[in-house]
A = this chain, B = another copy of it.
Amino acid sequence: MNERSEPAVGLKAKTLRHPLIRKLSNFTVLSLEECDAIESATTKIAEFAAGDDVIQRGDRTGGVNLLLEGFACRYKILEDGRRQILAYLVPGDLCDLHVFLLRRMDHSIGALSRSKVATIPQSAILGFTNSYPNLTRALWWTTLLDEAITREWVVNIGQRTAYERMAHLFCELFHRLHAIGETAGKSYPLPVTQATLGDTLGLSNVHINRTLQDLRRDGLISFNNGTVTIKNLAKLEAAAFFSPDYLHLLDVTEPFA
């Protein structure tokens, strides 16, 4: 029908429609009862424009936000204005499951593009954890996955050069988006400016610009109009010292035939 990649794991048509169920299905088989519980808890849906904050540091929300469509990011800002992006969120990711257990947000979440967000009531989550051990473990698993990615970001920023670092980011996003069927061939959307990439990788916008040119010159990627195109995945991964194990994806299918 189009060039979009198939979702990684085969699932029943019904569950596929719900991005959280699809995500959790990478970890466990949810019962029909559990699926129904999730679906009936995600009815309240809000829209955000690019740049809007979904939730801010210090907030104690009444519910947990689930990204249904669009891109968002976690970020923190230091007193003097320096900003660090901590994670990219893609459809199916939970924004602030933290708040359910930690008392308040220690960082903010902003929409990077026009986004749809469902809010699951606090009480629903509490109910899940009281009644559905399997679902609880699945939700817990998603937070462990987030943590694994954050750990790799520490390695990325701490040890890799600008060139390797940027290559690594593009690899990670490719694999994550491929797993949820949001890639189109060798391309995927990344609705950010070069300055935002700088806040992601701990580099200045000027240096981002030059490093991007280097990657393009070496035939590894291109990045235009919010779209990343991978020209040579093998070389990109080698340049990044990329190893996908930390993403804990069940499917390790070769992305390119």
User: How far, in angstroms, from A150 to B149 measured CA to CA in the complex?
Assistant: 10
A contacts with B: majority SS: helix
Q: Which of A139-156 contact B (CB under 8 A)?
A: 140-141, 143-148, 150-155
Encode contact with B along A120-150: 1 for CB under 8 Å, 0 otherwise.
0000000001100100110011011111101
Say yes or no: A144-B98 contact (C-beta < 8 A), given A84-B154, A136-B136, A159-B82.
yes
- Number of residues from A at the complex interface, CB < 8 A: 49
- The answer to whether A241 touches B78, judged by C-beta atoms less than 8 angstroms apart, is yes
Query: Which one of A148, A154, A157 has the highest number of Cβ atoms from chain B below 10 Å of its Cβ?
Result: A154
A163 in the interface (beta carbon within 8 A): no
A254 in the interface (beta carbon within 8 A): no
Inside 8 A of A33's CB, which chain B residues have their CB?
none
Copies held by the complex: 2
- The answer to whether A141 touches B248, judged by C-beta atoms less than 8 angstroms apart, is no
User: How far, in angstroms, from A136 to B154 measured CA to CA in the complex?
Assistant: 28
Say yes or no: A159-B202 contact (C-beta < 8 A), given A101-B141, A106-B245, A136-B136.
yes
Could you give 26 example pairs across A and B, Cβ below 8 Å? A27-B101, A78-B159, A83-B159, A84-B154, A84-B155, A86-B154, A97-B144, A98-B147, A98-B148, A102-B145, A103-B248, A106-B248, A107-B151, A107-B246, A129-B136, A133-B133, A140-B140, A143-B144, A147-B147, A147-B150, A150-B150, A153-B154, A154-B154, A157-B157, A157-B202, A158-B202
- A: residues with CB less than 8 A from B are 27, 58, 74, 76, 78-80, 82-84, 86-87, 97-98, 101-104, 106-107, 129-130, 133, 136-137, 140-141, 143-148, 150-155, 157-160, 201-202, 241, 245-246, 248
